[in-house]
């Protein structure tokens, strides 16, 4: 099979995470995961692996932005953002559902236990969550700039207030211009 990056017949099937087999390129260290291999590997797992928020593993990812062709069916691979603090994209074939991992992309996902949720990355829900996360981060940064060191205190108060059944009354009390005695 042809490597979508090197464009040579350099893909060799190897057991990457026993019993999961992938077609690996020895030149660029990329990996091709066919949909059949992925789903039969998922069936060997007992339930979803617990997601890890942080990982100590810091590998250099070589995300290759160029357009790539599916080594299985020749269609153009579509790039999808991974999110969750990982700044790279996966190349997915919408026709045969195979996935291309550039060097260390699979390893990074594995270190966060996201490698059993690969199929979800290509869904609208996953992609929308990335956008919502980004928006939250943007607003957090904006408020940090505005409120400085008081931000954490205000944030904690807001979280408490948002869940309070008397929220509206508390807000009215807070915005009452008369000084409180």
Residue among 100, 103, 97, 101 nearest 123 (CA): 97
Structure tokens at 134: 């980004």
Stretch that binds Zn ion, among 12-20, 34-42, 48-56, 86-94 (CB under 5 A): 86-94
Member of 21, 28, 42, 130 binding Zn ion (CB under 5 A): 28
Chain centroid to CA 21: how far? 22
What does each C-alpha distance from 11 to 3, 26, 41, 89, 100 come to in angstroms?
6, 7, 20, 21, 12
Backbone angles phi, psi at 68, to 5 degrees: -125, 155
112-131 mask for Zn ion (x: CB under 5 A)?
Answer: --------------------
Q: Would you say 14 or 164 has its CB closer to Zn ion?
A: 14
125 Cβ partners below 8 Å, 6+ apart? none
Q: Would you say 30 or 83 has its CB closer to Zn ion?
A: 30
Least distance between Zn ion and beta carbon 93 (Å): 3
How many residues bind Zn ion (CB under 5 A)? The answer is 13
Member of 42, 69, 96, 130 binding Zn ion (CB under 5 A): 96
Judged by CB under 5 A, does residue 3 bind Zn ion? yes
Judged by CB under 5 A, does residue 11 bind Zn ion? no
Judged by CB under 5 A, does residue 24 bind Zn ion? no
Judged by CB under 5 A, does residue 72 bind Zn ion? yes
Judged by CB under 5 A, does residue 86 bind Zn ion? no
Member of 93, 109, 114, 121 binding Zn ion (CB under 5 A): 93
Q: How far apart are CA 143 and CA 154, in angstroms?
A: 10
Letter string b/e over residues 121-130, b meaning 16 or more CB atoms within 10 A of that residue's CB:
bbeeebeeee
Q: How far apart are CA 108 and CA 118, in angstroms?
A: 12
Q: Which residues bind Zn ion (CB under 5 A)?
A: 3, 5-6, 25, 27-28, 30, 70, 72-73, 93, 95-96
């Amino acid at each position: 099979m042809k490597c979508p990056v090197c464009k040579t017949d350099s893909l060799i099937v190897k057991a990457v995470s026993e019993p999961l087999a992938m077609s690996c390129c020895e030149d660029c260290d990329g990996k091709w995961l066919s949909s059949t291999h992925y789903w039969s590997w998922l069936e060997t797992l007992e339930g979803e692996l617990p997601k890890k928020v942080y990982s100590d593993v810091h590998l250099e990812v070589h995300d290759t932005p160029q357009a790539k062709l599916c080594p299985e069916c020749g269609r153009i691979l579509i790039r999808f953002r991974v999110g969750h603090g990982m700044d790279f994209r996966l190349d997915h074939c919408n026709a045969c559902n195979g996935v291309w991992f550039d060097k260390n992309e699979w390893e990074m996902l594995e270190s966060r236990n996201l490698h059993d949720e690969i199929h979800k990355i290509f869904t609208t829900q996953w992609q929308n969550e990335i956008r919502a996360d980004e928006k939250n981060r943007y607003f957090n940064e904006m408020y940090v700039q505005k409120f400085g060191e008081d931000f954490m205190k205000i944030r904690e108060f807001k979280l408490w207030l948002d869940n309070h059944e008397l929220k509206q009354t508390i807000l009215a009390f807070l915005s009452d211009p008369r000084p409180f005695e």
